Structure 1
Amino acid sequence: MTTPEISPVEAGAPQKRRTPLLVALDVVRGAMIGTAETVPGVSGGTVALMTGVYETLLTSAGHLIAGIRHAVTDGLRGRGLAEARAQLGRVAWGVVLPIGVGMVVALLTMAHVMEGLLEDHPETMRGLFLGLVLASLAVPFRHSHRAEPRSPAVPWTMREWLLAAVAAVAVGIVVSLPAGNLSPEWYVLIPAGALAVSALVLPGLSGSFLLLTLGLYEPTIAALNDRDLGYLATFAIGLAIGLVTIVKLLQWLLEHRRRVTLVVLTGIMAGSLVALWPWQDADGMRIAPTEPIVAPLLAALAGAAVVIAILVAEHRMLARREAVVAVEPVEG
């Protein structure tokens, strides 16, 4: 379910035709990302990074935002839509659209299911996601060792280890904040939506957890389940504002400061593990392991095993491709 390397979409590069199987896998990826966003403490960005589509989605989102901006500003100034078409042509629509469909379907169908599972089996579910995220740390950590996908690996310096540690501690503090109780008014929902989508883009930070910290998680889940269009439309305005700002910033960072950005993202993911400690009291504070113990541990091992299996399969697939390329005759 992963791609050989997480690399940005090349500007203007021709996009390969997607087979029905790849489209179906992208829908599944989107469903996994959308499902993750309904779970406090789990980041959709983490799942996107784990399944190999993070940089593709981020770069495509940046081009989409730029295309819309040029369509509005250039259209109003009578400059034509050439630049808007160019930017929209750089979007990996064959990947973005199936993933978007999967995300929407999962958000509308899985919100109630995940709410029930978290209520009935909170320790086991947190254990499962703890294992998933813990094993997924290998993804940004491994890719941060290379400036480019196939360049020689360069180990982290002491400064980079320190930077990752600072990011981990900062996120650990954020996810340890007690839950608030804000009223879901429009002037609250718009900035909350911006924060939530920022967390969606950043692996390791959970939009659902930030909403839980603000006291808006349950109202938002209820609005999804009840199809409260007024609430959702107001929240979507905040989502759009957050996308325009954080996506362009991260796109620039990954294009110009890729290594250090992945170092920081690794630290952010590590810090988010605090929120996934299986045993918590009614106020969300971490406590020593109590019953049930076996089920959360087994769930954590199962989650880690799934990620490790994906990474091993990806490594073997990449090794086979490199072997084929090595023996192919040089033309000319």
Structure 2
Amino acid sequence: MSRQIKDYVIIALKGMGMGAADVVPGVSGGTIAFITGIYEELINTIKSVNLSSIKLLLQFKLKDFWKAVNGNFILALISGILISFKSLATVIKFLLETHPILIWSFFFGLIIASAIVIAKKITEWKIRTIIAMLIGIGIAYMVTVSTPAHAPTSYWFLFLSGALAICAMILPGISGAFILVLLGSYNHILEALSNLKLDIIAVVAAGAGVGILSFSHLLSWLLRKYHNMTIGLLSGFMIGSLNKVWPWKETLSTFVDSHGAEKPLTQENIMPYTFETLTNQDSQLLFALALAVAGFLLIWIMEKYSPETTQDKA
């Protein structure tokens, strides 16, 4: 498939969406990759980094290596992700701190629509597909209600944390950052990044590299051999993750992050009226509903006018 510059600009924009999503607790960049139609290409591109392609690199056959690993695609995508981290991430973090209910409402609508869009890719509904979806819902829900652990700081555990977090990051509906919080490694890794502790960074990066390369092969195989069941499982992940992005919450316990700021540790979902009673704050229900609808419509429009959908209708 021959691509032009405008196609790579669009891929970079999708990368910006992935980067923006990855900074939101409970929202995965994999979600954006899926709804924008690049998920399977992303998985197959990651999978293409194997012994054969590495051999081409070591032989200095750079053009062949670049083609083998779909270099133009991954360069455009990573560029968009990095741009997003530098720009949109700051904005989203600010909005989450100043207008949490409204932003979570927007993401709630976005994820509902995303789950529907993904489920529409199921070509045949069978009992096993439904069971896979229910398993996905159950796993994601249990992840969102799990209490963060107090983790060891040994290298083997940091390696494992990196591997699990990167796997979660490419799964729709499950946040890699949230997995690190659950494992109890989030603060330790953040501190290492802030203080440039190269040994810890190298171990986590090695875990992430091993995790994403091995997991991409598994996902690619599942999508090829058990497409409907895998799609059902992934859409289930998204439905289950809705528990995490429910806008109205009561904070049950807190923790202090690496910057000395107090952050929620465990929270419980509550109804808007209960939120007003407990906090003496406006639930912003009407604005929240409007933004949830806006998030839903944004995904619906993206899906309706995506190149993949347009080709299907042609």
- Scaled by the length of structure 2, what TM-score is found? 0.81
Query: What residue is the counterpart of 1:199 in the other structure?
Result: 168
| 221 and 131 in structure 1: CA distance in 2 versus 1, 3 angstrom threshold | farther
CA distance in 2, matches of 1:259, 1:90: 28
Query: What residue is the counterpart of 1:268 in the other structure?
Result: 237
Query: What residue is the counterpart of 2:299 in the other structure?
Result: 307
CA distance in 1, matches of 2:149, 2:92: 22
1:143 is paired with a residue whose SS is coil
The counterpart of 2:103, out of the listed 107, 110, 125, is 125
State whether residues 53 and 69 of structure 2, in contact with CA within 8 Å, keep that contact through their aligned partners in structure 1: no
TM alignment of 1:222-237, pairs within 5 A: 226=194, 228=196, 230=198, 231-237=200-206
Query: What residue is the counterpart of 1:317 in the other structure?
Result: 310
Query: How far has the Cα of 1:117 moved from its partner?
Result: 2.1
The counterpart of 1:287, out of the listed 232, 249, 270, is 270
Equivalent position amino acid for 1:288 in 2: M
Equivalent position amino acid for 1:245 in 2: S
| 138 and 67 in structure 1: CA distance in 2 versus 1, 3 angstrom threshold | farther
Equivalent position amino acid for 1:317 in 2: T
State whether residues 53 and 68 of structure 2, in contact with CA within 8 Å, keep that contact through their aligned partners in structure 1: no
Query: How far has the Cα of 1:316 moved from its partner?
Result: 6.5
| 237 and 113 in structure 1: CA distance in 2 versus 1, 3 angstrom threshold | farther
State whether residues 17 and 81 of structure 2, in contact with CA within 8 Å, keep that contact through their aligned partners in structure 1: yes
Backbone CA RMSD of aligned residues: 2.8
State whether residues 180 and 213 of structure 1, in contact with CA within 8 Å, keep that contact through their aligned partners in structure 2: yes
Query: How far has the Cα of 1:185 moved from its partner?
Result: 5.7
| 88 and 254 in structure 1: CA distance in 2 versus 1, 3 angstrom threshold | farther
| 139 and 87 in structure 1: CA distance in 2 versus 1, 3 angstrom threshold | farther
2:130 aligned with 1:161 = yes
Query: What residue is the counterpart of 1:51 in the other structure?
Result: 36
Equivalent position amino acid for 1:27 in 2: A
CA distance in 2, matches of 1:221, 1:46: 24
CA distance in 2, matches of 1:47, 1:108: 18
Query: How far has the Cα of 1:59 moved from its partner?
Result: 0.5
2:115 aligned with 1:137 = yes
Equivalent position amino acid for 1:117 in 2: L
Query: How far has the Cα of 1:169 moved from its partner?
Result: 1.5
Equivalent position amino acid for 2:91 in 1: V
Equivalent position amino acid for 2:296 in 1: A
| 85 and 313 in structure 1: CA distance in 2 versus 1, 3 angstrom threshold | closer
Query: How far has the Cα of 1:85 moved from its partner?
Result: 8.7
Query: How far has the Cα of 1:238 moved from its partner?
Result: 1.9
Comparing 249-258 with 308-317, greater Cα deviation is found at 308-317
CA distance in 1, matches of 2:208, 2:80: 18
| 288 and 205 in structure 1: CA distance in 2 versus 1, 3 angstrom threshold | same
CA distance in 2, matches of 1:114, 1:229: 27
String of CA shifts for 1:265-285, please: whole Å, max 9, x gaps: 111121111111111122222
The counterpart of 2:45, out of the listed 60, 72, 90, is 60
State whether residues 133 and 232 of structure 2, in contact with CA within 8 Å, keep that contact through their aligned partners in structure 1: yes
Query: How far has the Cα of 1:45 moved from its partner?
Result: 0.7
Give the length in aligned residue pairs.
289
1:281 is paired with a residue whose SS is strand
Query: What residue is the counterpart of 1:35 in the other structure?
Result: 20
The counterpart of 1:102, out of the listed 76, 80, 101, is 80
Equivalent position amino acid for 1:297 in 2: L
Identity of aligned residues (%): 28
| 216 and 288 in structure 1: CA distance in 2 versus 1, 3 angstrom threshold | farther
TM alignment of 1:140-219, pairs within 5 A: 140-145=118-123, 154=124, 156-182=125-151, 186-217=155-186
1:175 is paired with a residue whose SS is helix
Query: How far has the Cα of 1:135 moved from its partner?
Result: 0.1
2:287 is paired with a residue whose SS is helix
2:120 is paired with a residue whose SS is helix
- Scaled by the length of structure 1, what TM-score is found? 0.77
Query: What residue is the counterpart of 1:8 in the other structure?
Result: none
Query: How far has the Cα of 1:307 moved from its partner?
Result: 0.4
5+ residue gaps, structure 1, are 1-14, 146-153, 323-332
| 197 and 281 in structure 1: CA distance in 2 versus 1, 3 angstrom threshold | same
CA distance in 2, matches of 1:43, 1:266: 13
Larger fraction in strand: 2
CA distance in 1, matches of 2:174, 2:233: 12
